[in-house]
Amino acid sequence: MKHAVRTSLDALQLAHAHAARWLEGLDDRPVNADASLTTLRARLGGELPARPSDARDVVNELVRATDRGHLGCASGRFFAWVIGGALPSALAADWLVSTWDQNAALHATAPASAVVEEIAGAWLAELLDLPRDASFAFTTGCQLAHFTALAAARHAMLAKAGWDVRERGLFGAPAVRVITGAQRHGSIDRALAFLGFGRAQTLTLPVDDDGRMIAAALEEALAKDATPAIVVLGAADLNVAAFDDFATLIPLAKAAGAWVHVDGAFGLFARASRAHRAPLTGVERGDSWATDAHKWLNVPFDTGVAFVRDRAAHRAAMTIAASYIATSDDARDPIDWTPEWSRRARGFAIWAALRELGREGVEALVDRTCAHARAIVERAAELPNVEALHRPTLNQGLLRFLDPRPGAGEGVHDARTERVIAAVNASGEAFFSPTSWRGRRAMRVSVVNWRTDERDVERAVAAIARALEDAR
Ligand SMILES: *Cc1c(COP(=O)(O)O)cnc(C)c1O
């Protein structure tokens, strides 16, 4: 065997052994990461190595130096932010992606990858019940999916105003504005900033008590100002999984000639569940949609997806003609649809996840995680001085921990809530993140990991009960 092959296999074998230990330890190892910043810097740092090292030593050192520096996101007891796990076939596919090391920019540079993206994109459009002829792009995450879709929106809205933004740029272009809700995710603001939309071009509408955009407010905003608009709606926010009323809002916006973009980072996957799809009725009438495969579909980071109804606008906003790139007339070249040039072959892990779960498996995953979220919130709310600020209607819930002392105000309850969350996380039994909801601090309960089971739910509730004692 050639030396180069031998050393690669040796390093991979070690990586496999370390990965096995990591996975086998998920149920027992603390879910938190308690290696301090100083410790991690000291272990990983030092001078730039002057001399080569054996690949196996490097792998071992990496594992040793990062010990206790990884959160147990892959565990079934990780409920912070919205972070999925990795399905077995998707994780394995991701390893193979690194091994094959294809440049997934073009069909010419990665033939199988180009085809797998074609198939996986079509499967996803079908699963999420979006227009089957919509174009799509696999990006690093929902953030870049927003960027991609909103670039298409910008292109189309300016083209309608007689302005070719590719040719003439943004300086001196006709006005286009953005209308969105107060509860939007920050990644919308970043995507807009990248695309030249400032706060002055963004109108933020208030939301109702359920976190949904108010139809009368949108109607008024559209009627008051004839500037062409991009309306950004939400399919599940991070705190309470609020869905905008698509069936009402999209026709309103479309009647005014607006482009409608939907942030469905995780919420779009509720479309796959018969029990949970009702709030998404009418979402298919939008113009573009952004979602993540690394959240509810449980594909490893980093994989987001953009869908665009107007294929021509999408392609025009992204494509590039360079003399040396061998584009194909027949095959689908990802570079025509994504903001990246060289890129990882993301389609394989998505294809694997969809193949492993099938339509029924995705539905079961969505339903199961929603039930677990409800169980955690409902059981925790039975404990003394625990308030459910939001009982999950989908997979997201909010708990608040009250200070039992008489006369305790909201600020005191806020502090108590922070202390209880810190105590749960320090226990290593479960991991949650804090958030603010209507001016009050809360613990967010988010369940999207395929691995979470009833035993994890029990352990999480028991950890909360103990933290209530410890955090006095
Ligand atoms: C996670 C999330 C995003 C950002 O997605 P990334 O994959 O982190 O880029 C956007 N919107 C919502 C609602 C999210 O939950």
Percent pLDDT > 70 in the chain is: 98
Alpha-carbon separation of residue 110 from 33, 130, 327 (angstroms): 37, 27, 12
Say how far apart CA 184 and CA 266 lie, in whole Å: 14
Q: What is the pLDDT of residue 155?
A: 97
CA of residue 305 to ligand 1 center, whole Å: 11
| Closest-lying ligand 1 atom to the alpha carbon of residue 292 | 7
- The DSSP output letter for 395 is S
CA of 232 to the centre of ligand 1 (A): 14
Which among 26, 116, 151, 135 is positioned nearest to 344, based on CA atoms? Answer: 116
pLDDT confidence bin for 158, thresholds 50/70/90: very high
Output the pLDDT for position 323.
58
Given this model, what pLDDT does residue 358 score? 98
Give me the phi and psi of 304, to 5 degrees please.
-120, 170
The rounded distance, in Å, linking the Cα atoms of 86 and 294 is: 8
Q: How far is the CA of 233 from the centre of ligand 1 (A)?
A: 13
CA distances from 166 to 314, 320, 463 (A): 12, 10, 55
Q: Do strands 304-308 and 229-234 pair parallel, antiparallel, or not at all (unpaired)? A: unpaired
Which one, of 313, 277, 286, lies nearest residue 128 by Cα?
A: 277
Mutate to test the pocket of ligand 1, among 138, 180, 185 (most ligand atoms within 8 A of CB): 185
How many angstroms separate the alpha carbon of residue 71 from the centre of ligand 1?
Answer: 19
Q: Check the CA dihedral 33-34-40-43 and report its sign.
A: negative
Would you say the CB of residue 142 lies under 6 angstroms from ligand 1? yes
160 vs 165, 201, 258, 313, 425, CA distance in Å? 11, 18, 11, 11, 52
Q: State the pLDDT at residue 472.
A: 74
pLDDT tens across 289-344, in order?
A: 999 999 999 999 999 999 999 999 999 999 986 656 666 678 999 999 999 999 99
Does residue 136 carry a pLDDT above 80? Answer: yes
Centre of ligand 1 from the C-alpha of residue 191, in Å: 12
The C-alpha R_g of the chain, in whole angstroms, comes to: 24
Whether the predicted model's global pTM rises above the 0.75 cut: yes
Nearest to 468 by CA among 438, 427, 435, 409: 427
Q: Which pLDDT band, with edges at 50, 70 and 90, does 35 fall under?
A: very high
Residue 20 above 70 pLDDT?
A: yes
Atom of ligand 1 nearest to the CA of 236: 13
Residues β-bridged to residue 78 = 431
Q: Which residue from 455, 306, 460, 434 is spatially nearest to 379, judged by alpha carbons? A: 460
CA distance 6 to 55: 11
Q: Does the C-beta of 187 come closer than 6 Å to ligand 1?
A: yes
Q: How far apart are CA 385 and CA 186, in angstroms?
A: 32
- What is the average per-residue pLDDT within 427-453? 97
Question: Contact at 8 Å (CB) between 235 and 185?
Answer: no
Query: What's the distance, Cα to Cα, between the start and end of the chain in Å?
Result: 63
What secondary structure letter does DSSP report for 243?
Answer: B
Taking residues 265-274, what's their average pLDDT?
A: 98
Q: Which two tokens stand for residue 426?
A: 């320090």
User: Minimal CA–CA distance to 307: which of 330, 284, 327, 324?
Assistant: 284
pLDDT at 471: 80
Mutate to test the pocket of ligand 1, among 288, 292, 301, 346 (most ligand atoms within 8 A of CB): 292
Would the CB of 304 count as within 6 Å of ligand 1? yes
Ligand 1: which residue has its CA nearest to atom 5?
Answer: 142
Say if CB 222 and CB 258 are below 8 A apart.
yes
Residue 48 has pLDDT above 80, yes or no: yes
Q: How far apart are CA 101 and CA 8, in angstroms?
A: 13
* Ligand 1 nearest-atom number relative to CA 294: 7
Encode pLDDT of 339-377 as tens digits: 999 999 999 999 999 999 999 999 999 999 999 999 999
pLDDT digits (tens, 9 = 90+) for 370-409: 999 999 999 999 999 999 999 999 999 999 999 999 999 9
Quote the pLDDT of residue 320.
84
Residue having the nearest C-alpha atom to atom 12 of ligand 1: 265
CA 186 to ligand 1 centroid distance, Å: 8
User: What mean pLDDT is reported for the chain?
Assistant: 96
pLDDT tens by residue, 164-223: 999 999 999 999 999 999 999 999 999 999 999 999 999 999 999 999 999 999 999 999
- Which of 73, 81, 143, 240 has most ligand 1 atoms within 8 Å of CB, for mutation? 143
